[in-house]
Structure formats: structure tokens, C-alpha cells
């Protein structure tokens, strides 16, 4: 499993040291200075003196030669050399909306591909109440995958919360790996999605008892962390126990006209527009005697958790997904504790993961 949990920082000292060693030579140090620190500084200065044109060409070739993980890790390592290499990587690497690839942690909060869905899968650990999101590396339904996000379910009084993090081993709201959270009501039929970063300039954090301010450096070191409401998911009550699957509606805040920068801290985030989603109505199959949806081979096990989300009429216009046949997010079961998750723009991986987490758990009022 290839993971960026320990190398999410742009300025990883291990990466700088490993790349700097390839240059060769020794740095002159004074007796009072730390030789190791001086050596690292000399290596960084040597790499940063490359001509801008040459540096850009290097990044283009590395980016073109690493279309998917794990080779794509080389792009992240290059961005860790120094600030100039980071800026060059940001200018060359395109966001998922344009290239259909996930490169940096910031890609997880950017809209997915425009033309085809991003294939991912979720693994559930019932014993620890944890969920892991992986990027599919092959056409198989599951493989080793590229670790993206993790979530853990906690009980907070009468409510349930899911803490979402970049690090599987550090699922805490005060952690620098904290991405956001999902909070449910008492019945587990209404969920609110919170982002650790402001979704647009001027956004104010939600005033809740669990709101905390902490440093979340993976996305934007210049912005203080918090809990900013970015969406709601609601399941329709079914008190009459009428026949049929769950019915859900989502209201998600998605940016319109987002720029092409790979690092959100490099651009001004526009005010988001509200995207309304609903689950696609299944059809009743008389021969099989069950409700059916066409998942195009991406779902193999029947489950009440399976769903497809489409934009409601008039809601998806700004993003070109206004018709009710374009599936923006689909989620379905393939094994006892494995589920596929395919999403596309305007949803991000973080938003899609949070929506899918709402499907876990029993909902007596909806079934």
C-alpha cells in the first residue's frame, strides 16, 4: 500500500536528503555549525539554482512519466526538494478536474474529473469502527490501492460523529492531519458535513461545542483550521414501511469556476454554489423480485446501502451536470466490508467520502 501519511508535508527532510545525496560533493561547514544541517542547506541551495526553464522541463517530464501511483510518488518527492521545486510542481501538475489524477493531498478537496468518474473503494473495519478510502490502481474492483483518507466513528452523547483524517493512525480533531468531520442527528437520518478549511474567502466557522481551532497544514498553512459547514445529507422517513430502498437528498457547497492551480493556497477561492443531489430511482425487476440499478459492473452485492446520486433539475447547470442521467456519485457493496465509490465533478474526494459514510449504520426510520 502506497501512502502519503508520513510524507504529506511539502518540505520532508527525508526527501530533501535522499535527492540531495544524488548531487555529490561536500559542503563546507564551520566548527560551530551542525554538519548535517549545513549539508542539507547546501544540497537545497544547489538544486534551487537550476534555471527556471530547465526546472520546469524536468517537472514536465516527471509528471508525464508517472500517470498513476505508485510511480506518481516521484512527482511528490520532487516537490519536496525546496520551495522553488514546489512552485514548479504546482505550475505543472494539473488538478483532477483537468487531468483526472490525484497527486497532492490538496487534490482531495478539489473537484473530481470532468469526463469520467474517479474509481475508488472503501474498506470497513467493524471492530475499530474505522473506514479507509483508497484510489483504485487497476481495473479490478479492489487491489492494494493508494491510501487517501480514513475516518472513525465516535459516539458523542446522542449524536454520532465521523472524524476524517489524512492519517489512519491519527484520527483526532486537533491533529494536523484532520480534514473534516461528519455529524449525525439522534435518529441518524440527517448529517452535516464540516470542512477543516474555509470553503471560500470570508467563511465563518460553525459555532458548535466541538469546534476547535488548530493547524491543518496540508491544504493551506496560511489559513487557520476550524469547522465550516459545507453540506447536508438527509434520508427520507419511511414510517409506513412502504416497499422500496432508502431515499436521500444532499445539499453540497461546490465552487463554481475554480481555477487550475494544484495548490488552493495559490488562488482566491470563489464563493460556492449550492448543488442539490438525490438518489436515482431504481426500477422493480419482476423476474428477480428486487429493486435494480445499473452500476456498470462496479457493484456485485445487493445492499440497502447501494445508491447513485444525480443532480436535481436545474441544480447542476453551473457544472454541466444538469441532466438526471449523469451519475455524480455511486456507492455499492462488493464484499462484506468492501465498497466501491466512484465520483466526478463538482464533488471532491472528501465530499464524496463523507456522503458515503452516511450510508453506514442502521436507519430504522428509513427502512
Do the Cβ atoms of 79 and 86 come closer than 8 Å?
Answer: yes
Closest CA to 330 of 343, 348, 311: 343
Report yes or no on 113 lying in a domain: no
C-alpha pair distances (Å), 163 with each of 112, 179, 215, 268, 297: 22, 8, 16, 27, 31
Residue 289: what pLDDT? 64
Q: Residue 327: how many CA atoms within 13 Å on its side-chain side?
A: 20
Residue 310: what pLDDT? 92
What does the alpha-carbon distance between residue 64 and residue 304 come to, in Å, rounded to a whole number?
41
Average pLDDT over residues 52-79: 92
Report yes or no on 102 lying in a domain: no
Per residue, the 3-state secondary structure of 291-318, as one string, reads: EECCCCCCCCECCCCCEEEEECCCCCHH
Helix (H) or strand (E) holding 353: helix 349-357
Check whether residue 88 and residue 140 sit in a common domain. Answer: no
Check whether residue 185 and residue 68 sit in a common domain. Answer: no
Average pLDDT over residues 204-223: 50
At residue 63 the predicted structure's pLDDT band, cuts being 50, 70 and 90, is very high
- Residues near 55 by Cβ (< 8 Å), separated by ≥ 6? 84, 85, 88
Lowest mean pLDDT among 142-146, 191-195, 257-261: 257-261
At residue 21 the predicted structure's pLDDT band, cuts being 50, 70 and 90, is very low
Do the Cβ atoms of 149 and 182 come closer than 8 Å?
Answer: no
Q: For the chain, how far is it from start to end, CA to CA, in angstroms?
A: 37
At residue 52 the predicted structure's pLDDT band, cuts being 50, 70 and 90, is confident
pLDDT of 211 above 50: no
Check whether residue 133 and residue 69 sit in a common domain. Answer: no
Residue 165: what pLDDT? 96
Residue 12: what pLDDT? 38
Do the Cβ atoms of 349 and 151 come closer than 8 Å?
Answer: no
What does the alpha-carbon distance between residue 254 and residue 229 come to, in Å, rounded to a whole number?
12
Three-state SS at 327: strand
At residue 172 the predicted structure's pLDDT band, cuts being 50, 70 and 90, is confident
Three-state SS at 341: strand
pLDDT of 32 above 70: no
Q: Residue 165's Cα: distance from chain center in Å?
A: 10
At residue 247 the predicted structure's pLDDT band, cuts being 50, 70 and 90, is confident
Check whether residue 145 and residue 44 sit in a common domain. Answer: no
Domain count, the chain: 2
Lowest mean pLDDT among 5-14, 24-33, 209-218: 5-14
At residue 5 the predicted structure's pLDDT band, cuts being 50, 70 and 90, is very low
And the C-alpha cell for 346? 463538482
The percent helix, strand, coil of the chain (3-state, each to 5) is 20, 25, 50
Report yes or no on 107 lying in a domain: no
Check whether residue 194 and residue 231 sit in a common domain. Answer: yes
Lowest mean pLDDT among 146-150, 205-209, 242-246: 242-246
Average pLDDT over residues 128-144: 90
Residue 234: what pLDDT? 93
Check whether residue 187 and residue 89 sit in a common domain. Answer: no
- DSSP, residue by residue, 110-175: SB--SSSPEEEEEEEETTTTEEEEEE--SSSS--S-EEEEEEEEEEETTEEEEEEES-TT---TTS
At residue 56 the predicted structure's pLDDT band, cuts being 50, 70 and 90, is very high
Helix (H) or strand (E) holding 63: helix 52-64
pLDDT of 257 above 80: no
Residue 25: what pLDDT? 41
Q: Residue 302's Cα: distance from chain center in Å?
A: 26
CATH code of the domain containing 146: 3.20.90.10
Three-state SS at 62: helix
Residue 355: what pLDDT? 96
User: Which percentage of the chain shows pLDDT scores above 90?
Assistant: 43
Check whether residue 301 and residue 157 sit in a common domain. Answer: yes
What does the alpha-carbon distance between residue 269 and residue 255 come to, in Å, rounded to a whole number?
8
Residues of the domain holding 82: 38-93
Report yes or no on 350 lying in a domain: yes
Residue 34: what pLDDT? 59
Check whether residue 252 and residue 177 sit in a common domain. Answer: yes
Q: Share the mean pLDDT of the chain.
A: 79
Average pLDDT over residues 238-243: 54
Q: Which tops the pLDDT comparison, 92 or 319?
A: 92
pLDDT of 209 above 70: no
Report yes or no on 16 lying in a domain: no
Check whether residue 186 and residue 320 sit in a common domain. Answer: yes
Q: What is the pTM of this model?
A: 0.80
Check whether residue 137 and residue 180 sit in a common domain. Answer: yes
Check whether residue 198 and residue 58 sit in a common domain. Answer: no
The β-bridge relationship of strands 338-343 and 178-184 is: unpaired
Check whether residue 234 and residue 330 sit in a common domain. Answer: yes
Lowest mean pLDDT among 177-186, 209-218, 311-320: 209-218
Lowest mean pLDDT among 7-11, 70-74, 317-321: 7-11
Report yes or no on 146 lying in a domain: yes
Report yes or no on 334 lying in a domain: yes
Q: Which tops the pLDDT comparison, 271 or 56?
A: 56
Amino acid at each position: 500500500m502506497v501512502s502519503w501519511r508520513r510524507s504529506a508535508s511539502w518540505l520532508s527532510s527525508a526527501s530533501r536528503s535522499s535527492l540531495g545525496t544524488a548531487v555529490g560533493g561536500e559542503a563546507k561547514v564551520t566548527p560551530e555549525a551542525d554538519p548535517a544541517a549545513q549539508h542539507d542547506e547546501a544540497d537545497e541551495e544547489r538544486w534551487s539554482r537550476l534555471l527556471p526553464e530547465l526546472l520546469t522541463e524536468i517537472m514536465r517530464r516527471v509528471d508525464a512519466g508517472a500517470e498513476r501511483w505508485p510511480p506518481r510518488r516521484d512527482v511528490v518527492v520532487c516537490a519536496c526538494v525546496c520551495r522553488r521545486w514546489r512552485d514548479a510542481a504546482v505550475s505543472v501538475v494539473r488538478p483532477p478536474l483537468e487531468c483526472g489524477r490525484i497527486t497532492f493531498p490538496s487534490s482531495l478537496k478539489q473537484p473530481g474529473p470532468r469526463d469520467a468518474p474517479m474509481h475508488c473503494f472503501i474498506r470497513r473495519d467493524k471492530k475499530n469502527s474505522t473506514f479507509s478510502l483508497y484510489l483504485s490502481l487497476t481495473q479490478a474492483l479492489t487491489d492494494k490501492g493508494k491510501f487517501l483518507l480514513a475516518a472513525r466513528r465516535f459516539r458523542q452523547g446522542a449524536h454520532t460523529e465521523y472524524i476524517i483524517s489524512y492519517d489512519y493512525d491519527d484520527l483526532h480533531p486537533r491533529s494536523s492531519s484532520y480534514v473534516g468531520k461528519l455529524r449525525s442527528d439522534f435518529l441518524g437520518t440527517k448529517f452535516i458535513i464540516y470542512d477543516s478549511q474555509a470553503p471560500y474567502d470570508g467563511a465563518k466557522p460553525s459555532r458548535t461545542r466541538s469546534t476547535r481551532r488548530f493547524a491543518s497544514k496540508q491544504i493551506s498553512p496560511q489559513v487557520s483550521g476550524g469547522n465550516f459547514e459545507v453540506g447536508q445529507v438527509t434520508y427520507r422517513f419511511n414510517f409506513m414501511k412502504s416497499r422500496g430502498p432508502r431515499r436521500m437528498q444532499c445539499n453540497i457547497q461546490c465552487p463554481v469556476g475554480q481555477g487550475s492551480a494544484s495548490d488552493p493556497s495559490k488562488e482566491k477561492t470563489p464563493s460556492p454554489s449550492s448543488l442539490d443531489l438525490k438518489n436515482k430511482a431504481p426500477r422493480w425487476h419482476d423476474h428477480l423480485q428486487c429493486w435494480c440499478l445499473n452500476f456498470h459492473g462496479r457493484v456485485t452485492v445487493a445492499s440497502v446501502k447501494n445508491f447513485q446520486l444525480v443532480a436535481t433539475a436545474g441544480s447542476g447547470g453551473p457544472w454541466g451536470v444538469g441532466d438526471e442521467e449523469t451519475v455524480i456519485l455511486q456507492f455499492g457493496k462488493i464484499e462484506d466490508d468492501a465498497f466501491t465509490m466512484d465520483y466526478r465533478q463538482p464533488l471532491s474526494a472528501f465530499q464524496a467520502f463523507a456522503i458515503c459514510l452516511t450510508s453506514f449504520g442502521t436507519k430504522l426510520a428509513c427502512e
